[in-house]
Amino acid sequence: MMASSYNAKEEDGHHSGSAGLGGAAIRSRKPDNTAFKQQRLPAWQPILTAGTVLPAFFVIGLIFIPIGIGLFVTSNNIKEFEIDYTGTDMSSPCFNCSQSFSWNSSTPCKCVLPFSLEQPFESNVFMYYGLSNFYQNHRRYVKSRDDSQLNGDERSLKEPSKECEPYRSSENKPIAPCGAIANSMFNDTLDLFYIDPNGTKTQIPLIKKGIAWWTDKHVKFRNPGNNPNLTTVFIDTAKPVNWRKPVYELDTDSENNGFINEDFIVWMRTAALPTFRKLYRIIQKKNNMTPTLPRGNYTLEVTYNYPVRSFEGRKRMILSTISWMGGKNPFLGIAYITVGSICFFLGVVLLFIHHKYGNRNNSSDIPN
C-alpha cells in the first residue's frame, strides 16, 4: 500500500523531469524528502483489540494469582503480637501512670503488663512501638527540624534553622537537636521478661543497634565536631524542652550517642500516616534449637514517660517475626489474588466477546 503510493510519486517526478529544462531547477526547490518530514517513518502500529489483549489478561491472571497466594501464605505465617499499654481503662496496669502524668515529675512512673504468647516466635523477632492519632505528618511538625544541624554542622548547632520555631531556643541557648520532631521523641522504655513455667523471671536481651537506615546513621546524621567528648561539644546548647536528659546522654555507648543515637534517628523519620509503628528493638535468635521467644508467659515493663492521653492517642508494643517481604501484610497478597482473578475473569469475558463479535466485526469491516 505504501509502496504503491511511492510509486505514484516517482512517476510524478518522472513526468516533471521530462517537462522541460526547468524541471531540474524546480526539483531543487522541492523540500527534501525524508521519511520523517513526510510522516512516513517506519513504525510499529499496535491496536488494542480483544484478540491482542486476551493473552495479556490470561498471563497477568496466571502470574498474579500464584504470587498473591504466595504473599498471602507468607504473610499468614508471620507471627505478630500486639499489646496496648496506653492505660485508658481503669483495669489497665498503666492507668495510674497515664492519669498522673506530669512533665515535671522526677520519679518515672512504671507499670508492668503480663501477657502470654500462644505460639513460639522463631528466628529474629522485631519489637515495635506503635502510636495512633499522632500526626507526625502534620506540616508544621514535618518541617520543624534542621537537617544541617543533625548533619553535624557547627554553625547550625549554634544557630538552628528558623523552621525549628517554637522549639528553636530555650533559656537563650539554642536547642540541640531543635524542632518539634526531636522535641517529641518517644521516650518510654520497654523491657521484656520471660516468665519460666517455674516462675523465674529472665530479661530478654534487646538489641538497640541496627534499627535505623545505614545511610542515616553513617551519613545523614553526624555529631558536630570531631571531639569524642560530646558533653563539651553540646556545652552551649539547651536540651529540648520535653526531654528529660540532654542529647549527649541518650546512651552510654559513644557510637550510639548524640545525634547518631538510633532511637533518635528512627524517630526523626516522620511517619506517613497518623497511625504508625516504629522499630524499637531487635531480639536476636540465640540458636537453631530453641525459638527466640518460646510460648509462655511474659511481662512487659514500661517506664511510662510519654503522654498521649491529651490527644486521645494510643500506645502499643508489637512483637513480630518477618519474612522476605517484611512484616505481616495481608493486603498485598489479597490484592494480588483479586487483581489476578479479575484479569482472568476479564480474559474469559473477552474471549467470549472476541469469539462472538470479533468474527462478525472482521467480516463486516467492509461497510455495505
Partner 1 sequence: MALCTGEESWVDSRTVYIGHKEPPPGTEAYIPQRFPDNRVVSSKLIIDTPTSPMTSGLPLFFVITVTAIKQGYEDWIRHKADNAVNQCPVHIIQHGKVVRKQSRKLRVGDVVQVKENEVFPCDLILLSTSKEDGTCFVTTASLDGESSHKTYYAVQDTKAFSTAEEVDTLHATIECEQPQPDLYKFVGRINIYLDRDEPIARPLGSENLLLRGATLKNTEYIHAVAIYTGMETKMALNYQSKSQKRSAVEKSMNAYLIVYLCILISKALINTVLKYVWQADANRDEPWYNQKTEIERQRHVIIRAFTDFLAFMVLFNYIIPVSMYVTVEMQKFLGSYFILWDDDMFDEEIGERPLVNTSDLNEELGQVEYVFTDKTGTLTENNMELRECCVNGHVYVPDAICNGQVLPGAAGMDMIDSSPGVEGKEREELFFRALCLCHTVQVKEEETVDSIKRGIHQGKSTSFYISSSPDEDSHMEILNREDEMERFELLEVLNFDSVRRRMSVVVRSSSGEFFLFCKGADSSIFPRVVSGKVEQVRARVEHNAVEGLRTLCVAYKKLSQEEYEEMCHLLNSAKLALQDRDKKLAEAYDVIEKDFILLGATAVEDRLQDKAADTIESLHKAGIKVWVLTGDKMETAAATCYASKLFHRNTQILELTTKRTEEQSLHDVLFDLSRTVLRQQGSMTRDTFSGLSGDFQDYGLIIDGATLSAVLKPTQEGSSSGGNYKEIFLEICRNCSAVLCCRMAPLQKAQIVKMIKASKEHPITLAIGDGANDVSMILEAHVGIGIMGKEGRQAARNSDYAITKFKHLKKMLLVHGHYYYIRISELVQYFFYKNVCFIFPQFLYQFFCGFSQQPLYDTAYLTLYNISFTSLPILLYSLMEQHINMDILKRDPSLYRDIAKNSLLTWPTFIYWTFLGVFDAVVFFFGAFFLFDNTTFTSNGQLMATNTQMMFGNWTFGTLVFTVLVFTVTLKLALDTHYWTWINHFVIWGSLLFYVIFSLLWGGIIWPFLNYQRMYYVFMQMLSSGPAWLSIILLVIVSLLPDVVKKVLCRALWPTTTEKIQNADKLYKGHLSEFTPLSSLHAPPLRKHDRPGNDSQIHTHRRSESSPTKKLMCTYWGGKPDYCTFSSFLRLGDNPRFSGAAFAYGAPGPETSV
| Interacting residues with partner 1 between 263 and 292 (CB under 8 A) | 266, 269-279, 282
Kindly state whether residue 104 participates in binding partner 1, applying the rule CB under 8 A: no
| Interacting residues with partner 1 between 195 and 224 (CB under 8 A) | 210-216, 219-220
Closer CB to partner 1, 47 or 90, in the complex: 47
In this structure, the number of other CB atoms found within 10 A of the CB of residue 365 comes to 7
Shortest gap between Cβ of 151 and partner 1 (angstroms)?
A: 7
Kindly state whether residue 21 participates in binding partner 1, applying the rule CB under 8 A: no
What is the Cα–Cα distance from 240 to 248, expressed in whole angstroms?
12
| Interacting residues with partner 1 between 79 and 98 (CB under 8 A) | none
Kindly state whether residue 314 participates in binding partner 1, applying the rule CB under 8 A: no
Closer CB to partner 1, 266 or 300, in the complex: 266
Kindly state whether residue 117 participates in binding partner 1, applying the rule CB under 8 A: no
Kindly state whether residue 366 participates in binding partner 1, applying the rule CB under 8 A: yes
Shortest gap between Cβ of 164 and partner 1 (angstroms)?
A: 10
Beta-carbon contacts of residue 52 (< 8 Å; ≥ 6 apart): 46
Q: Which amino acid is at 232?
A: T
Kindly state whether residue 357 participates in binding partner 1, applying the rule CB under 8 A: yes
Q: Could you say which DSSP state residue 145 is in? A: -
Closer CB to partner 1, 166 or 296, in the complex: 166
Kindly state whether residue 237 participates in binding partner 1, applying the rule CB under 8 A: no
* Paired sense of beta strands 276-283 and 201-203, if any: unpaired
C-alpha closest to that of 344 among 55, 69, 71: 55
Closer CB to partner 1, 93 or 217, in the complex: 217
Shortest gap between Cβ of 200 and partner 1 (angstroms)?
A: 31
Q: Which stretch binds partner 1 (CB under 8 A): 113-121, 162-170, 246-254, 288-296?
A: 162-170
* Paired sense of beta strands 189-195 and 173-174, if any: unpaired
Query: What's the N-to-C CA distance of the chain in angstroms?
Result: 22
Kindly state whether residue 342 participates in binding partner 1, applying the rule CB under 8 A: yes
Shortest gap between Cβ of 233 and partner 1 (angstroms)?
A: 20
Kindly state whether residue 351 participates in binding partner 1, applying the rule CB under 8 A: no
Q: Which of 77, 100, 114, 140 binds partner 1 (CB under 8 A)?
A: 140
Closer CB to partner 1, 180 or 233, in the complex: 180
H/E stretch holding 169 reads strand 169-170
Q: Which stretch binds partner 1 (CB under 8 A): 189-197, 248-256, 290-298, 304-312?
A: 304-312
Kindly state whether residue 128 participates in binding partner 1, applying the rule CB under 8 A: yes
**Which residue do the cell numbers 498521649 mark?**
308
The β-bridge partners of 276 are 131
Q: How many residues bind partner 1 (CB under 8 A)?
A: 122
Kindly state whether residue 238 participates in binding partner 1, applying the rule CB under 8 A: no
Q: Which of 72, 126, 243, 344 binds partner 1 (CB under 8 A)?
A: 126
Q: Are 322 and 126 in contact (CB under 8 A)?
A: yes
**Rg (the chain; Cα; Å):** 34
Helix axes 22-29, 2-17, angle to 10 degrees: 140
What is the Cα–Cα distance from 290 to 296, expressed in whole angstroms?
13
Q: Which of 21, 46, 102, 252 binds partner 1 (CB under 8 A)?
A: 46
Q: Which of 195, 322, 348, 351 binds partner 1 (CB under 8 A)?
A: 322
What is the Cα–Cα distance from 31 to 23, expressed in whole angstroms?
14
Beta-carbon contacts of residue 62 (< 8 Å; ≥ 6 apart): 340, 344
Beta-carbon contacts of residue 100 (< 8 Å; ≥ 6 apart): 109
